[in-house]
Amino acid sequence: MKFGGVFETHWGDSAKAKFVLFLLREILKGRVKACARFNGADNAGNTGKENGVEIVVHNLPISVCVPGVDSFIAPLCLVSLPRLFSNEMPELAEKGVRFDRLRIAKETFTVLQWHRDIETLEEQALGATKRDGTARGIGPAYGDITRKYAISVADLLDPDALKIKVQENIAIKSMIAGLAYLRRMENQTMKEFLNYGEQLRPFVVETDPYLCKLNHENRDDDLILLQQAQGAMLDIHSPSYPYVSSSGMTLHDATKIFRITPDDFEFRIGVCKAYTTSVGKRDFPTQLTDKIGLGLQTRGAEFGRTSGRPRDCGWLDGPALRHAIFLNKLTHLFITKLDVLDQEPEILVCTDYDREGQTLSRAPRLGLGNCRPVYRSFKGWQKTTAGTRKLEDLPSEARTYLDFIQEYAGIPYIGVSTGADTYDTIWIG
Ligand code: IMP
């Protein structure tokens, strides 16, 4: 089998889920045998809209709503318990989603209530300089992996291994004043976690035999589609550090997890919004704090699906785009939410950063604080493109804008999204 990759080029929230659904339902119909997430947990909010019904996933890959495709949660994702069982799966089941093709790697780790409690306490301790995350406990849970006492899905299925991990975690976490109560909680915690294990059991697979089986049962040109959660600028090692998420979310991480090389990919598509947004505290060079930014926020419905927070909006950040292309060796772009720019008389693109007199054409490895945007101006089209499905139906100014992005990026755009519905898409191929 081959691999395909869907990455996001900035700070997330560029309608990756819509694009993945379009690929699964149309362009790669029947070829994708498994769709896998390889980072993050319920800090992500992926929304697909099909036939007017909105499907929102957090832990799960959006492919759960497509019959005939395995949805795989790969190692180094986190599974957020109990949210998965108490909220996400029941809400999806009500919309008719079935979970018969859900596969969860046994080697995946967990986010638990104590991680959310630790994040809350840490944010309180930091006060004004807090990291302003999604409050889902993502940082503390990834921290447990590097500190080597994280609880894996495999542990939840093995009472003896689990007991040791629970005791270790209680010993360590109860040293935090606000979590001292955990010392009395061993029995209750064991019971609760074993119960999660039983709920997970029907979906659990061991990664390598599972991938071997997929390979064996399918044709050479069938695909495993890897979907990144969040976006290049939220990777733990991105220029936005420390205002980043805590997972590795690059091509490098995906190849490590799946034990493949970049050559095993047929394509790696970067989903790039026609303007740029960011939710949460960080340096955001192209941020618009004026009424243009507010207009983009309103028309683009730029409110976090997970946290409900308004997203900051700005012009397309080119150096960040180049960073994502470089890091993930992207082969194509898919441009989303073009229609949100419909009303603008003038549209700017940040082509470079000016960092204290030095011109940077790609985001630096660390720190965006002193980066001032250098803009290039484009005439807006001021006509509606919403719902357009053919390239030739776009206004010439919109084509000029897209062609510039392609030339600037150095890779072609293969499609454009002009609305939330899966089929409000121009496909070029
Ligand atoms: P954490 O992932 O909860 O640690 O949050 C760290 C930062 O990443 C915060 O600024 C979040 O708003 C941001 N973030 C995390 N997940 C997403 C996402 O799926 N979309 C956009 N921003 C995200």
Determine the pLDDT at residue 270: 98
**Cβ neighbourhood burial of 5 (10 Å; 0-12, 13-18, 19+):** buried
Q: What is the mean pLDDT of the chain?
A: 96
How far does the centroid of ligand 1 lie from the alpha carbon of residue 180, in Å?
Answer: 28
- CA distance linking residue 154 with residue 227, whole number of Å: 23
The model's confidence at residue 421, banded by pLDDT at 50, 70 and 90, is confident
Nearest residue (CA) to ligand 1, atom 23: 230
- CA distance linking residue 230 with residue 8, whole number of Å: 7
The model's confidence at residue 51, banded by pLDDT at 50, 70 and 90, is confident
CA dihedral 155, 156, 159, 161 (to 10 degrees): 10
The model's confidence at residue 306, banded by pLDDT at 50, 70 and 90, is confident
Ligand 1 pocket, CB under 6 A: 11-13, 43-45, 132-134, 136, 138-139, 229-230, 234, 243, 245-246, 279-280
The average pLDDT across 46-60 equals 87
Point out the least confidently predicted range of 161-165, 398-402, 417-421. Answer: 417-421
Q: Please give the number of the atom of ligand 1 that sits closest to the Cα of 136.
A: 3
Q: Please give the number of the atom of ligand 1 that sits closest to the Cα of 234.
A: 8
Instruction: Return the DSSP state at 35.
Output: E
Q: Which amino acid is at 156?
A: L
The model's confidence at residue 271, banded by pLDDT at 50, 70 and 90, is very high
The answer to whether the Cα torsion of 149, 150, 154, 160 is positive or negative is: positive
Nearest residue (CA) to ligand 1, atom 16: 43
End-to-end CA distance of the chain: 21
How far does the centroid of ligand 1 lie from the alpha carbon of residue 29, in Å?
Answer: 31
- pLDDT at 351 > cutoff 90: yes
Probe residue for ligand 1, chosen from 279, 281, 282, 303 as the CB with the greatest number of ligand atoms within 8 Å: 279
Please state whether beta strands 2-8 and 223-227 pair in parallel, antiparallel, or not at all (unpaired).
parallel
How far does the centroid of ligand 1 lie from the alpha carbon of residue 271, in Å?
Answer: 17
- pLDDT at 420 > cutoff 90: no
Determine the pLDDT at residue 336: 97
- pLDDT at 264 > cutoff 90: yes
The average pLDDT across 130-145 equals 96
How far does the centroid of ligand 1 lie from the alpha carbon of residue 300, in Å?
Answer: 19
The average pLDDT across 33-48 equals 94
- CA distance linking residue 287 with residue 89, whole number of Å: 36
Determine the pLDDT at residue 305: 76
Determine the pLDDT at residue 277: 98
How far does the centroid of ligand 1 lie from the alpha carbon of residue 10, in Å?
Answer: 12
Residue 275's nearest CA partner among 338, 346, 326, 353 is: 338
Determine the pLDDT at residue 138: 97
Per-residue pLDDT tens digits for 205-250: 999 999 999 999 999 999 999 999 999 999 999 999 999 999 999 9
Residue 31's nearest CA partner among 222, 256, 169, 317 is: 222
Probe residue for ligand 1, chosen from 77, 230, 241, 336 as the CB with the greatest number of ligand atoms within 8 Å: 230
Residue 338's nearest CA partner among 394, 379, 298 is: 394
Determine the pLDDT at residue 185: 96
Q: Residues of 37-71 as b/e, b for ≥16 C-beta within 10 angstroms? A: bbbbbbbbbbbbbbeeeebbbbbbbbbbbbeebbb
H-state helical runs in 174-277: 186-200, 207-217, 251-258
Report the 10 Å Cβ neighbour count for 365: 10
Q: Please give the number of the atom of ligand 1 that sits closest to the Cα of 134.
A: 3
How far does the centroid of ligand 1 lie from the alpha carbon of residue 134, in Å?
Answer: 6
Q: Please give the number of the atom of ligand 1 that sits closest to the Cα of 44.
A: 19
Nearest residue (CA) to ligand 1, atom 5: 133
Nearest residue (CA) to ligand 1, atom 9: 133
Per-residue pLDDT tens digits for 152-176: 999 999 999 999 999 999 999 999 9
The average pLDDT across 26-32 equals 96
Q: Please give the number of the atom of ligand 1 that sits closest to the Cα of 309.
A: 12
The average pLDDT across 80-98 equals 93
The average pLDDT across 336-350 equals 98
The average pLDDT across 396-413 equals 98
186 with 166: CB under 8 angstroms? yes
Instruction: Return the DSSP state at 307.
Output: T
Determine the pLDDT at residue 49: 78
The model's confidence at residue 383, banded by pLDDT at 50, 70 and 90, is very high
Question: If DSSP states are collapsed to H, E and C, what string results for 175-193?
Answer: CCHHHHHHHHCHHHHHHHH
Cis previous bond, 364, omega within 30: no
- CA distance linking residue 318 with residue 361, whole number of Å: 8
The average pLDDT across 285-312 equals 93
The CA angle 219-228-361, to the nearest 5 degrees, is: 120
- CA distance linking residue 402 with residue 405, whole number of Å: 5
How far does the centroid of ligand 1 lie from the alpha carbon of residue 124, in Å?
Answer: 18
Nearest residue (CA) to ligand 1, atom 21: 12
How far does the centroid of ligand 1 lie from the alpha carbon of residue 248, in Å?
Answer: 13
Nearest residue (CA) to ligand 1, atom 2: 245
- CA distance linking residue 63 with residue 74, whole number of Å: 14
CA dihedral 89, 90, 92, 97 (to 10 degrees): 90
How far does the centroid of ligand 1 lie from the alpha carbon of residue 244, in Å?
Answer: 7
How far does the centroid of ligand 1 lie from the alpha carbon of residue 120, in Å?
Answer: 15
Nearest residue (CA) to ligand 1, atom 11: 133
